[in-house]
Amino acid sequence: MQNIGCLPMRKLILLTIIIAFSVNLSKGQSVYLPYSYQLDQKFNSSVYSIQSSLHTSLKPFLIDSTLSSTYNAIMNRGVDSSRKTWIVRKIFNEHVFDVKTKEYTFYADYLPDLLIGRDFTDKVTTNLNTRGFQAGGTVGDKFSFYTSGFENSAKFPGYYNDVVNKYAFIPGQAYNRSYHGQPTGSQDWSYVTAIISYTPIKQLNITLGTDKTFIGDGYRSLLLSDFSANYPLLRLTANLGKVQYMMMWAYLEDINLHKFDTFGSNRRKWAVFHYLDWNITNRLSLGFFNALIAQEADDNGNFHGFDVNYVNPLFFSSSLGPSSQPDNVLVGFTGKYKIFDKTAVYGQLLIDDFKASNFFSGSNTTDNTNGVQLGIRGADLFRVKGFNYLLEYNSVKPYTYASPQAITSYTDYSQPLGDPLGANFREFIGILNYSIGNFDFTGQFNYARYGVDPADMNFGKDPFKPTTSASATTTDIGQGQTASLHYAEGTVSYLVNPKYNLRFELGGLYREEKNNSTGIRKTSLITFGLRSTFRSIYHDF
């Protein structure tokens, strides 16, 4: 692919001025809806209505007029206005602290996440002990802020604990402080989110902080998901009617590569993301995605500053780095069509390496690495209000997301920025969710087939491993040690306070992984506890 190039700085400034003055300088929303799939699906009936023109693929959403009525209904579900006692209202109805004036608003909550469980296969007791908080508010109608923090300790089921010990990292969260070079059974970590959001005009939002971004309409995203840890980001989102355009800069880390300073700081890398979503009609939308990963320091310890080319508002199509230390560039496409009211089919195509002659011939050489997603999701299944559903298929070829040097792999803290399974897999997912009164029921089933890397070999499953260490010259999905995964999970919860999702929750999990070399590993887990927050903690990998 040829490099589009970058605009000179004076042209970039001119473009910004043109955009700013060519739109209506009206009020805009700056408050984000916290993103997790479990919360997001509650909005299916609104966002996938054929009457809605909302851009659905970029998350988290800004709460606008399309979402506000559904948001208010969710945040007040089960609230009883007749309760008069202050302590009762705080437990069941309100934020712990809640201040509202004409000039500003502020709220704050204590967030417990307390679980006890039993893994009947490994015969161990599991637990999660989280002490958390959230605080947020607005200043005027253009500025908002949000922060949450969690101090955690846990004992996980065996398969999850193995992943934590392998990377010394809680997937999607933070460092495992209990890990000191040796595997451990008890984990300890802290996790923080903090963003400020500014909407100077209705058509432009500027977000700065430490958070995640999700691109797509599915449960998974092959382009950019919320599975990895939080990262520092600056995100600009322009909403120009039928077109939404996002440009984001992020600062990622790697905890496994050689460190160059005496403080032991992690190796760092820059990431630049572009996403353009076009609502052709209220039913049909198409999107284009582009990502570039660039190292801050090469393998020789030579540091490079932030390249002004990364400010380019146009899409990158090839590496901007030197041929000896190239950047990693990916492109992708999204699509969605509302086949019925409140029901949409969606898809993604990810292209990493591309060679036209081999791509169209169906060749399985490493000249072409890509991923495909197809799915359907919607609300009010069988005309039952609040009955949400999703069916999804994902497939990613071996060596996708990887790079000749590990530092520019499509990862953060060695965790995939796409699907949790990395690459070299096919995956089917089904999710049902039903809410009635204060009760919520969720059932999920996953099936996946993938290739596992034997010791000291690289058949393309782990994006962190450099392509220079490849053990195969083909990209047959499942190459290496063939494995399969059956995963089923169900939860029943009773909502106590909707403002911070405080609930009692009973859950059951069954996981069976078959590996042609190592045999079968099963997990049967039952959990119960008092939970809160809207954060996503994934177990289905």
Let me know if residue 254 belongs to a domain.
yes
- Looking at residue 62, the DSSP 8-state letter turns out to be B
Three-state SS at 15: helix
Helices within 127-230 (DSSP H only): 158-167
User: What Rg do the C-alpha atoms of the chain give, in angstroms?
Assistant: 23
Domain that holds residue 286: 9-531
Question: Residue 145 pairs with which residues in a beta bridge?
Answer: 137, 196
Alpha-carbon distances of 64 from 31, 54, 60, 71, 203, rounded to whole Å: 9, 9, 12, 10, 12
CB-count burial class (<10 Å; 0-12, 13-18, 19+) for 111: buried
- For the four alpha carbons of 233, 234, 239 and 240, in that order, the dihedral sign comes to negative
187-201 vs 502-515, strand pairing mode: unpaired
* pLDDT digits 0-9 by tens, 280-291: 999 999 999 999
What CA dihedral angle connects 443, 37, 250 and 244, to 10 degrees? 140
Q: Comparing 18-22, 287-291, 358-362, 375-379, which segment has the lowest mean pLDDT? A: 18-22
Tell me the mean pLDDT in the region 60-66: 87
Let me know if residue 238 belongs to a domain.
yes
Let me know if residue 540 belongs to a domain.
no
Residues 6 or more apart in contact with residue 34 via CB below 8 angstroms: 60, 146, 534, 535
- The reported pLDDT for the residue numbered 166 is 84
> Domain holding 239: CATH number?
2.40.160.10
Let me know if residue 538 belongs to a domain.
no
* pLDDT digits 0-9 by tens, 192-223: 999 999 999 989 999 999 999 999 999 999 99
The pair of three-digit structure tokens given for residue 208, joined into one six-digit string: 């700065």
Let me know if residue 3 belongs to a domain.
no
Tell me how many domains the chain contains.
Answer: 1
Is the pLDDT assigned to residue 446 strictly greater than 80? yes
Distance of CA 84 to the CA centre of its chain: 40
Let me know if residue 4 belongs to a domain.
no
Report long-range pairs for 246-249 (Cβ below 8 Å, ≥24 apart): 246/58, 246/273, 246/274, 246/275, 246/276, 247/272, 247/273, 247/274, 247/313, 248/213, 248/272, 248/273, 248/274, 249/273, 249/310
For 436, other C-beta atoms within 10 Å of its C-beta total: 11
Q: Comparing 2-6, 192-196, 361-365, which segment has the lowest mean pLDDT? A: 2-6
Burial 222-260 (b: 16+ CB within 10 A, else e): bbbbbbbbbbebebbbbbeeeebbbbbbbbbbbebbeeb
**Is there a cis peptide before residue 60, judged by omega within 30 degrees of 0?**
yes
Burial 349-366 (b: 16+ CB within 10 A, else e): bbbbbeeeeeeeeeebeb
Three-state SS at 283: coil
Write down the pTM of the prediction: 0.90
Q: What is the mean pLDDT of the chain?
A: 87
More confident residue, 517 or 208: 208
- Whether 223 and 348 have beta carbons less than 8 Å apart is answered as yes
pLDDT band per the 50, 70, 90 thresholds, residue 87: confident
Let me know if residue 181 belongs to a domain.
yes
Let me know if residue 537 belongs to a domain.
no
